[in-house]
Amino acid sequence: MIHPGPIFDLILMTTLITLAWLLLAGKDLFRAVVLFISFGLLTALAWVRLGAPDVALAEAAIGAGITGALLLVGLGKLGSAERCRRTVRPATALQRLTPAVLIAVIIPSVAVILLLELRQLKTISFGQQKLVLSLLDISGTDHPVTAVLLNFRAWDTLLEKGVLLLALTGIWSLDQAHPLFHQEPLSPVLKGLSQLYLPILIIVSGALLWQGSYAPGGAFQAGALLSAGILLAALGGRSLPSYWPGLPLRLLASCGLLVFLLVTALTLLTNELPLNYPQELAAVLILLIEIFATVAIAVILAAAVAGGHPAERHKHHSPSPEKKP
C-alpha cells in the first residue's frame, strides 16, 4: 500500500503554487488578499509537514492573521483600481527590451539552475539538532526552538525586537491613525463575540507563552494572538482611556526591547559576555524577556494595523477619531 504522506505533500505543493500564481495574476485585488490569507494557512500546514510546528503557529497567527488584516486595511484605503496621474511616455527600444529580457530569460534560467542544483542535496542525519539537544540542559528551557531563540541565538531575537520597534516608528512618522472601524450602531453579534473571545484570546496567549518553555509556542505567537484580541476589542467598540496614547503606549510598545537590552547590559556587566545567562538564572531571564516581548509585540502589531501615530489629544488609540484629510 502506498503511504499517503507524499501524495498529500504533492497535492499541498501543487495547491500552494497554483494559489500563488492565481492570486498574483488575477484581476480582483480583494480576491487576491483573501487568497493570500488562505495561502498563509496552507503554508502553515506545510510547516507542520516539515516538522516545524513553531513556525506553523507563527505563520497561522501572522501570515494568515495579522498580515491579512494589514492587507485588508490597506486595500480599504487604497482601493483596487490602478490609478496613476502621470501620462506614461513611450519607452525607447532598449528600455522596452530590458524588462522583457529580465523576465523572460534571466528569471526562468536562474530558477531552472537552482532546481537542478537541488539534486546535489544530501541527506544529513541531524544538522545542528544534536548540538542544540546536548546543550539543552544549560539553556534554561526544555524546548529546542525556544533555547535557540532566546539563549543560543538571542542576538537575532534582540535585533528582531528592534526591527519591530523601528517598523512602528516608521509607520508613526508617516501618518496619523484614522478610524478603522466606524460602524455606528454596533452590531450586537460583533459586540457579543468580542466579549466572548477577548478573555479566551488572553488566556490562550498566556498559555502559549508559558508553553514555549517546553513545547511549540512562545512570545511571538502569544503576542500575535493578543494583538488579535486588541483588534477584536477595537472592532467591538472598545477604546483605550484618554491618558493612554501618550507615554504609556510608547512604554508598552518599547518594553520588549528595553527589558531585553537591560538583560543584555546586566549579563555584559556580570559575565563579560552579553546574553550569556548564568545557568541558574536562565529560565527566569528567558521568561522575563518573553513576557515583556509578548506585551510589546501585541501593542506594536495592533498599532501597526491602526496605521499611524495616535492622535495626541483624542481619546482613543487604535481607532482614534480623526477626520480624513
Partner 1 sequence: MTIPVLYAGSGILLFFIGLHALLIRRHLLRKIIAANIMGSGVFMVFIALGARGDSAVADPVPQVMVLTGIVVSLCFTAVAIALAVRIHNLTDCTTLAADEESSID
Restricted to residues 269-298, the positions that interact with partner 1 (CB under 8 A) are none
Grid coordinates of 182: 466606524
Q: Which is nearer to partner 1, 44 or 201 (CB)?
A: 44
Is residue 4 at the binding interface for partner 1, with CB under 8 A as the rule? no
Is residue 63 at the binding interface for partner 1, with CB under 8 A as the rule? yes
Is residue 319 at the binding interface for partner 1, with CB under 8 A as the rule? no
Q: Contact region for partner 1 (CB under 8 A) — 140-148, 269-277, 282-290, 313-321?
A: 140-148
C-alpha closest to that of 168 among 259, 318, 74, 304: 304
Query: Which residues lie closer than 8 Å to 16 by C-beta, 6 or more apart?
Result: 39, 42, 43, 46
Task: Count CB neighbours of 174 within 10 A.
Answer: 10
- Work out how close the CB of 183 gets to partner 1 at its nearest, in angstroms, rounded to a whole number: 21
143 close to 276: Cβ distance less than 8 angstroms? no
- Work out how close the CB of 196 gets to partner 1 at its nearest, in angstroms, rounded to a whole number: 27
Residue appearing with cell numbers 510546528: 53
Number of residues that bind partner 1 (CB under 8 A): 99
Q: What is the dihedral of CA 214, 217, 220, 223, to 10 degrees?
A: -110
- Work out how close the CB of 10 gets to partner 1 at its nearest, in angstroms, rounded to a whole number: 7
Q: Which is nearer to partner 1, 25 or 189 (CB)?
A: 25
- Work out how close the CB of 184 gets to partner 1 at its nearest, in angstroms, rounded to a whole number: 24
- Site residues for partner 1, window 227-256 (CB under 8 A)? none
Q: Contact region for partner 1 (CB under 8 A) — 16-24, 192-200, 237-245, 272-280?
A: 16-24
Is residue 11 at the binding interface for partner 1, with CB under 8 A as the rule? no
319 close to 307: Cβ distance less than 8 angstroms? no
Among 9, 101, 203, 265, indicate the residue that binds partner 1 (CB under 8 A).
9
Task: Give me the phi and psi of 239, to 5 degrees please.
Answer: -145, 165
What's the rounded Cα separation, in Å, for the pair 317 and 307?
A: 11
Q: Contact region for partner 1 (CB under 8 A) — 66-74, 193-201, 256-264, 278-286?
A: 66-74
Among 147, 180, 225, 228, indicate the residue that binds partner 1 (CB under 8 A).
147
Q: Contact region for partner 1 (CB under 8 A) — 51-59, 186-194, 229-237, 257-265?
A: 51-59
Grid coordinates of 59: 505563520
Among 2, 4, 85, 273, indicate the residue that binds partner 1 (CB under 8 A).
85
Site string for partner 1, 18-37 (x = CB under 8 A): --xx-xxx---x--xx--x-
Is residue 55 at the binding interface for partner 1, with CB under 8 A as the rule? yes
Grid coordinates of 307: 496605521
Burial of 306 (0-12, 13-18, 19+ CB in 10 A): buried
Is residue 260 at the binding interface for partner 1, with CB under 8 A as the rule? no
Task: Count CB neighbours of 317 within 10 A.
Answer: 25
Strand, helix or coil for residue 14: helix
Task: Give me the phi and psi of 82, to 5 degrees please.
Answer: -85, 105
Q: Contact region for partner 1 (CB under 8 A) — 142-150, 190-198, 258-266, 276-284?
A: 142-150
